Amino acid sequence: MDITRLTAMEIREKVINKEISSKEVVKAHLNRIKELDEELNAFITITEEEALKAAERVDEKIKNGESLGKLAGIPIGVKDNIITKNVRTTCGSKMLENYIPPYDATVIERIKAEDGIILGKTNLDEFAGSYSTESSYFGVTKNPIDTERVPGGSSGGSTAAVKAHEVALALGSDTGGSNRQPASYCGIVGIKPTYGLVSRYGLVPLANSLDVVGTFGRNVKDATLLLEVIRGYDEKDPTSMEIEGSSYLEKLKEGIKGMKIALPREYMNMDMDSRVKGKVMETVKLFEILGGHVEEVSLPHVEHYWATYYLIVVSEISSNMARYDGVGYGYRTEDYDSLDELYIKSRTEGFGEEIKRSILAGTYILGSKEGREYYEKAFRVRTLIKEDFDKVFEKYDVILTPTTPNLPFKIGDSIKNPFEMYGSGIFNIPANLAGLCAISVPCGYVDGLPVGLQIIGDRFKEANILKAAYALEEELALGGENNGL
Amino acid sequence: MGYKTIVGLEIHVELLTKTKIFCNCVNEFGGDANTHCCPVCLGLPGAIPKLNKGALEFGIKAGLAFNCQISEWVKMDRKHYFYPDLSKGYQVSQDDNPLCRNGYVEIEVEEGLKRIGIQRIHMEEDTGKSIHTEGGDTLVDYNRAGVPLIEIVTAPDINSSEEARMFLENLRNILRYIEVSDCKMEEGSLRCDVNINVVDTETGKKTNITELKNLNSFKAVASAIEYEERRHISLLEKGENTAKETRRWNEVENKTVVMRDKGSADNYRYAVDVDVLPVVIEKEWIDEIRDSLPELPHQKKERFIKEYALPEYDAGVLTQSKELAQFYEETNKYAKDPKQVSNWVMGDVLRRLNDEEMEIEDLKFQPKDLADLLEFINAGKISNNIGKKVLREMFETGEKPEAIIKKKGLIQISDEGELEGIIEKVLDENQQSVIDYKNGKDRALGFIIGQVMKATKGKANPQLVNKMVRERIEKR
């Protein structure tokens, strides 16, 4: 039996039934990482020692007949912008290359409390600020399906690790598609929960009003399992909420008979890779067959998504990056004669190009009269976009869109054509702007490359998108196993 | 030809909440460096602020005490600038929607009551503290980071150093009365910046506004205003203007010096802090807070005038602080003559406190002890002067007046039989004085009485001695 081929659910079951030990599971996955990660570069930090200790504790519990958590023995990767106590958290930046935090993010506490085993910290675009994982100070992560291509981003390390069976589950974060776009590019499931469903305490912010922690798995059930563990109110994050209702896992099998499904006309008419469009349209038909009612709807403000998102995201980035000043922690330049020089050189040397672009743009927007006018307008348009979705969700349960308008691009191409890269998140952005939940689920391959379907649901209606994704996954029986490594 | 001084103040006040504004760290002055800190107040990546409702309540209390309108809802904004003691590169503050607006504080000027407008009061977090070592290093203590502050901004309604001082005293008294701050300038829990310029009342010419910082006492505020007044006027007289700049007060040299140029306006790039959810301030909550406000200084003063029939001056002095007023009222509960109590509290008690730089709370004796002392005097058991001696002893030891009087045998001698022998003896020994008095030298009487008092160590009842000495001399 190749342990790394097991699903998360299977691992838990076999560990609890003493078919395999937690330690065996960890070792098998660590070996897999050792075997592959030199090439893939999905991990920035591997926490071998801590993982083995955690596995021993789980095995000890089993030996003593103690009850076990929902994630017992499951190896998990954590995006390196999620704070881990005593384990360095770099955010993919030279700025935090040696930063070792003194606390755990709430999601980490919850994973540990449920006996999940963290194998390491995964690569990402610097501070999660791009779409290809190429802007990491720790080098580019390669797509396990085609190592000449990017895994997408910013959670590319997590999606590559899950796809390559280095871990069974992973955490990511999603500000404008950073969970869904790389999940699509790597042919796995990526969930972007409703803003407020999961505590952000300990997620290093890129843009606080858009960021959410999300989950990855090679199938819907696995990704849902991890979501179920991390969701819920946290007193440390006042924007988090407790949602009443039964477990998502129990609802997955309910099916989608009678589900009202919307297909946004404007999205499908946009410029996109015809192969992606073709695959998505095929998939939409499957939903009809599965008993859903699909209708075209209008989401008219699509041409304003990018500008609105950009104005908000760079403004919040410029504010959030202000704390990295070389004073209390993080990178400090070696040579400086004055306080100003300490700031300027530390920040110039510590930040990468992509994040600097955002800081400059955001500083201009917040610091100039013209910029502020744009900024305020962006907030008004954001409200309009929310209203577009509210209107659709009055009548429909879910919205289907391609996760991305394109297929995974080649490493280096984004530098030649940054707009193609930015454009890859266009269908993802509105769920962040409107605080909705969404999932990317694989819907097939074209020319050897994966296509993801995005299913968007109303705020706190995760059950709807998970049910729909699960029904599709069952029907397609892809299981995430038919391609790649 | 005349000049008018225009002053506005910006006052930062640390609130006395138990915990900091966005975390559960203890809000306490001092402590070992960086021991009252957590990821939130240190601004560590990923930490999220959580607004302390108690701090908001204190802010509202202050707003109501200063007659402000309270905002219907609040949000917090980020104010960006770089400084080592600012751990996040921004201070969480309030920009365009302050908690309180349009209030005032009254001061008494010659023409009567004058209102000094309060434009706004907003909430914010305090920063850490930079400590510059002799070796040239700068160390930062973040214990203060995240302590809740209110910033009070006045209208430019203040026209002299004296008005500024009166305003600050009233403001401080009110804040202490409502117990939102201890307002200790020496510990930085009240900090005041001054904006000042001068206008030539004939030509209408104005100087540019100078901002003054590093004012560590009300006296420094007044002195700095006076210094700047002169500087601005002398420039106006020369047909010149002041530079737009920030100056700091140099207490040693008694002058202001340039701190930084303010040629270009500050750009704080304010942005709403979306982590701190907006809070709706319910009318009921405001009413509750309003109902919980204690009697304010001016209200207490009026009541003292009415209830205790005190002169306005006395009532003003006694209500300077809540504790002093409380001491006075408590003493009155056991005493008969409110004016007498006022005289003693304002006189010997306050004088001694001032001399020793003590607060009323530091007194070793209780209000009832003072009332008992006065009762000894009023009953004729001790003289007024002996009473003062006893009070001094009470200051030192905290002993009860009765115990002191007994221990030292200070009970007044009012027994004619006992006094008769003493007086006869004094008269015998001072025959010349007796003759002098009989020859019309009134001063001789005083001398004789003094000798009697001396012989009784001051314990003799002075009125009785006076009466008896005259009688005995007549008989001779």
Encode pLDDT of A188-199 as tens digits: 999 999 999 999
- The reply to whether A363 falls in a domain is no
Radius of gyration of chain A (CA): 21
Handedness of CA B255, B257, B259, B260 (dihedral sign): positive
Report the candidate in B24, B232, B20 with the shortest Cα–Cα distance to residue B145: B20
Encode pLDDT of B112-125 as tens digits: 899 999 999 999 99
Backbone angles phi, psi at A207, to 5 degrees: -140, 105
d(CA B5, CA B209): 11
Q: Which residues of A touch B89 (CB under 8 A)?
A: 319, 321-325
Q: Which two tokens stand for residue B190?
A: 């009240």
Q: Which two tokens stand for residue A97?
A: 């290359």
**Structural contact between residues B88 and B39, judged by C-beta atoms closer than 8 angstroms:** no
d(CA A38, CA A42): 9
pLDDT reading at A439 higher than 60: yes
**Active site (catalytic) residues of A:** 79, 154, 178
- From the candidates B142, B274, B277, which should be mutated to test the interface with A, based on the most A CB atoms within 10 A? B274
Encode pLDDT of A329-386 as tens digits: 999 999 999 999 999 999 999 999 999 999 999 999 999 999 999 999 999 999 999 9
- The reply to whether A346 falls in a domain is no
Q: Which two tokens stand for residue A222?
A: 């696995």
Average pLDDT over residues A5-26: 97
Q: Which two tokens stand for residue B436?
A: 């002098």
Q: Does any CB of chain A come closer than 8 Å to the CB of residue B269?
A: yes
pLDDT reading at A483 higher than 60: no
DSSP secondary structure letter of residue A255: -
**Structural contact between residues A98 and A86, judged by C-beta atoms closer than 8 angstroms:** no
ipTM above 0.90, yes or no: yes
Q: Is A56 exposed, middle or buried (0-12, 13-18, 19+ CB in 10 A)?
A: middle
**Structural contact between residues B129 and B140, judged by C-beta atoms closer than 8 angstroms:** yes
**Cβ separation of B46 and A363 shorter than 8 Å?**
no
Per-residue pLDDT band at B263 (split at 50, 70, 90): low
Which pLDDT value is given to residue B444? 85
Q: Which residues of A touch B39 (CB under 8 A)?
A: 101-103
CATH topology of domain B416-475: Arc Repressor Mutant, subunit A (1.10.10)
Hey, where are the domains in chain B? 3-284, 295-407, 416-475
**Structural contact between residues B40 and B50, judged by C-beta atoms closer than 8 angstroms:** yes
DSSP secondary structure letter of residue A290: T
Strands A260-264 and A398-402: parallel
d(CA A423, CA A415): 13
Which pLDDT value is given to residue B265? 65
Report the candidate in A432, A353, A352, A334 with the shortest Cα–Cα distance to residue A389: A432
Q: Is B203 exposed, middle or buried (0-12, 13-18, 19+ CB in 10 A)?
A: exposed
Report the candidate in A235, A161, A240, A157 with the shortest Cα–Cα distance to residue A193: A240
pLDDT reading at B222 higher than 80: yes
Which pLDDT value is given to residue A484? 45
d(CA A102, CA B38): 9
- Distance from chain centroid for Cα B256: 25
Handedness of CA B81, B82, B84, B86 (dihedral sign): positive
Encode pLDDT of B390-425 as tens digits: 999 999 898 999 888 888 777 777 788 888 888 888
Residue A383 is inside which H or E element, if any? helix A369-395
- The reply to whether A243 falls in a domain is yes
- The reply to whether A190 falls in a domain is yes
Average pLDDT over residues B221-247: 94
Which pLDDT value is given to residue B445? 85
Which pLDDT value is given to residue A174? 98
- The reply to whether A149 falls in a domain is yes
Beta strands in A124-251 (DSSP E): 169-174, 189-192, 212-217
| Token pair 């592959």: residue | A36
pLDDT reading at B164 higher than 90: yes
Average pLDDT over residues B267-272: 94
Q: Is B33 left (phi over 0), alpha (psi -120 to 50) or beta?
A: beta
Determine the structural domain holding residue A429 and report its residue range.
3-253+401-476
Which pLDDT value is given to residue A478? 66
Q: Which residues of A touch B82 (CB under 8 A)?
A: 322, 325, 343
d(CA B105, CA B117): 7
Strands A212-217 and A189-192: antiparallel
CATH number at residue A165: 3.90.1300.10
User: Cis (ω within 30 of 0) for the bond into A358?
Assistant: no
Beta-carbon-side half-sphere exposure of residue A232 (alpha carbons within 13 Å): 15
Q: Does any CB of chain A come closer than 8 Å to the CB of residue B247?
A: no
Q: Which two tokens stand for residue B118?
A: 């309060």
Q: Which residues of A touch B271 (CB under 8 A)?
A: 315-316, 319, 366, 375
Backbone angles phi, psi at B94, to 5 degrees: -125, 130
- Chain A residues with CB within 8 Å of chain B CB: 82-83, 89, 91, 96, 99, 101-103, 105, 200-205, 208-209, 235-239, 315-316, 318-319, 321-325, 327-329, 339, 343, 363, 366-367, 375
* Amino acid identity for residue B203 in this structure: T
- The reply to whether A290 falls in a domain is no
CA-based nearest distance B4→chain A, Å? 35
Lowest mean pLDDT among A109-113, A209-213, A463-467, B213-217: B213-217
pLDDT reading at A479 higher than 70: no
- The reply to whether A220 falls in a domain is yes
d(CA A245, CA A463): 10
DSSP secondary structure letter of residue A370: H
Which pLDDT value is given to residue A415? 74
- SS3 sequence, A21-67? CHHHHHHHHHHHHHHHHHHHCCEEEECHHHHHHHHHHHHHHHHCCCC
DSSP secondary structure letter of residue A193: P
Which pLDDT value is given to residue B1? 60
What percent of chain B has pLDDT above 90? 69
- The reply to whether A373 falls in a domain is no
Per the model's pLDDT, the better-predicted residue between B430 and B167 turns out to be B167
Torsion of CA A49, A54, A58, A61, to 10 degrees: 110
Encode pLDDT of B34-53 as tens digits: 999 999 999 999 999 999 99
Report the candidate in A182, A176, A144, A184 with the shortest Cα–Cα distance to residue A163: A144
Per the model's pLDDT, the better-predicted residue between B450 and A321 turns out to be A321
On average, the pLDDT of chain A sits at 95
- Distance from chain centroid for Cα B399: 28
d(CA B261, CA B400): 61
User: Cis (ω within 30 of 0) for the bond into A338?
Assistant: no
Per the model's pLDDT, the better-predicted residue between B326 and B418 turns out to be B326
Q: What is the number of structural domains in chain A?
A: 1
d(CA B249, CA A180): 58
Per-residue pLDDT band at A293 (split at 50, 70, 90): very high
Encode pLDDT of B76-115 as tens digits: 999 999 999 999 999 999 999 999 999 999 998 998 899 9
Which pLDDT value is given to residue A482? 46
d(CA B361, CA B330): 13
Q: Which two tokens stand for residue A169?
A: 């589950």
User: Which member of B39, B46, B90 has the closest CB to residue A319?
Assistant: B90
A475 CB neighbour count, 10 Å cutoff: 14
